[in-house]
Each structure stands twice: as C-alpha cells, then as structure tokens.
Amino acid sequence: MEELFEDIEKLASVEKRVAMATLVATRGTSPKREGAKMWVGEEGRILGSVTIGGCVDARVIAESEKALSSSQPRLLEMRLGDEDAWEIGFSCAGELDVLIEPIEISNGQVIDLYRRVRASVDQGKCAVLVTPLKDSTSKLLVLENGEISGTLGSNDLDREAHTTALELLRKRTSSTVNLGGEPVFFEVHGPPRTLIVFGAGHVSMPLISLAHDLGLKTILVDGRPRFATRERFPDADELLIGIPSEIAQTLAYTSSTFVVLTAHDYKYDLPVLKVVLPARPAYVGLLGSKRRGHAIKEFLRESGMDESLFDQLHVPTGLDIGGDTAAEIALSILAEAVAIKSGRPAAFLKDRK
C-alpha cells in the first residue's frame, strides 16, 4: 500500500496527467489481487503492474495511452485462453477486468481523494474508495469511522455502498460488487501489516526475520536489553526496551496488526494481554501449551476481563505442521496469523473445493 502512495508522489513531481489502471476483478487464479495498480504517464513513465508483466500489462499500457488521448476512462475486459494465461502467470484460463482512468496527477480530485486515504492510513485507520465501473468520475470515500465524502449519485446508492464498504474494510479485501444492478469497485486501503512480538527469546528471532521477509513491519518488545539487541534482531523495524505492558499501551493495534507473545512467562503475558486483547488486533498468539492457556484465561477472568475477548487468543499459537525448530515454529505462527487475517481455514490447497 505504501508503494501506491510513493508512486503517486513520484509521478506528481514529473507528470501532469497519468492513466491509472486498476485491476478491479479477476476470475480464475491471478498473480495479483484486486486493487493492483499500474500508472502510465503522459510523458511515458510506467510504474506498478496489474499482473506479473507480459502481454496483459502491454495491452494495459496501450489502452492507457488511448485513455489519455481521449480523456475518457475505459474498462478493459480480458478473457484469457490457456496459452495466454500461462504466459502471464495465470495457472489456468481466466478473466480479468482493468479500469483505466485518465487523471490529473498534481492536484486533481482523484489525487486529492488518495491523499485523504493516505492521511487515514497514516493514522492507522482503513479507508475505502468506491468507484462505479460504468461512471468512474463519481467516487465515494468511506473512512473506518464511518465518515463519508463524495457521492455515487443517489442517497440510496451511497447508503448501500457505505454498508458494503464497511464490510469489505473489516475483511481488508478490495472487490467489485453489484450495487443497484451496476458493478462498483471497492478499493480498500489500510495501514501496513505489522507484527508486534513481546519477548526476545529464540523463537522471536526467526519470527521477526520471517515477518520482515513477508513485508510486515516488525516491532520487538522486551524488558531485557541483553536479549533485545540489534545483533539478535537485525530485521526488526523497532526494538523497544522497557516495561512491556507500559510499552503495549503506547502501540497502535489495527485490523492489520498481529501480536505474538513468546516470553512464556506469566509476568509478561498477563499484563500485556490485558492491554492487547481489548484492542482487538487481527491476531493474538501466545506461545505455550493448552494447559497454560487455560490457566492464563483463568487469571484474566479473575482480573475481570470480558470472556468474549478470549476467542481471539490463539494458544497454543501456530498451525499443526509438526514444527520443532524455532524457525518452523515461527513459520507455523505466521501461517496461522495470515490465515486468520484472510479468513481462510489454513487447510491443504489440494482439498479446496
């Protein structure tokens, strides 16, 4: 997501008009998800991609140039045969729709909307930009707090779009949905996925490195300066040393935040969980046995915590992949966190219906 905002700022400094190509629908297995963008500048600059390159991106570039010449948006609907699909990274024949909109990059209305989206994301909040595919000039912006601006043309449509936007925002999924019989694209933006690890033990080291490789922002918290070192955690974006529960109160927890407690120590786990669970991040995992999990929940219950918060606590943390080493345990934890965030069952893909 940050890449999108960076691309906008890069282009704004060198181009006046650009074509913004957005992948708005895919049917079949796609290498990119809805919301992927490619920018084609009037001066010829190209940033981003809606597939992994190849003939589809080439066609998008050609159509973008036409859109810039005509100053008219266009919806590109591509039906790929098996041969084409293999070439661009689809594993089978599929369909994809790309909306191409010519826009003023420096100070146009669309860019203004994206800057508002960015302001929301910078504050740790999601935002949804709603665009009718048949008339992309009218847009609606829905913020996580429910605030809206712009219109799709009627109050009824705006209300319906508002409800759908908040549902998709919770799933953090961009998608095209039919509203009033017309296709409307909901482009969901949110803060970067972040992993916060409490405890600087041996499992935390590969956990932070693996999360870093997955593109997550990583934060490590511990009270012990001898453990929470740059040498042990070269990939941590932030190393925070202090009273863990006090640090926990200063961190932001969004629908894109994974929290994992690896200290395996009540003195850290209980006070930190008292802060983290009510904040309802995307995932909370606790290293330890089921028995320990029951004991932790009992302590939290005794301290007056609402039991409905326990559902989100994954203890033992991780998937049952037979993980034994610290790296394998880290892999199982992140696999579970990603599956929970995506609302997927974390089962074998070969069994997927």
Q: Which residues of this chain interact with another protein, rule CB under 8 A? A: 222-227, 242-246, 263, 265, 267-268, 271-272
CB-nearer residue toward another protein: 193 or 274: 274
The least CB distance from residue 275 to another protein, in Å, is: 11
For residue 188, the cross-strand partners are 128
CB-nearer residue toward another protein: 14 or 266: 266
The pair of three-digit structure tokens given for residue 84, joined into one six-digit string: 């084409």
Residue with tokens 């290498």: 31
The least CB distance from residue 200 to another protein, in Å, is: 9
The least CB distance from residue 263 to another protein, in Å, is: 7
CB-nearer residue toward another protein: 67 or 272: 272
CB-based contact 90:145 (threshold 8 Å): no
Nearest to 312 by CA among 337, 295, 347: 337
* 12-44 residues labelled b (16+ CB within 10 A) or e (exposed): beebebbbbbbbbbbeeebebebbbbbbbbbee
The least CB distance from residue 305 to another protein, in Å, is: 15
CB-nearer residue toward another protein: 33 or 224: 224
CB-nearer residue toward another protein: 165 or 248: 248
For residue 201, the cross-strand partners are none
The least CB distance from residue 226 to another protein, in Å, is: 5
Strand order, beta sheet including 95-104: 46-48, 37-41, 17-27, 95-104, 74-79
CB-nearer residue toward another protein: 248 or 315: 248
The least CB distance from residue 302 to another protein, in Å, is: 9
The least CB distance from residue 238 to another protein, in Å, is: 18
CB-nearer residue toward another protein: 65 or 265: 265
Gap between the Cα atoms of 106 and 127, Å rounded: 21
Q: How far is CA 36 from CA 142, 177, 220, 259, in A?
A: 19, 17, 30, 27
CB-based contact 204:197 (threshold 8 Å): yes
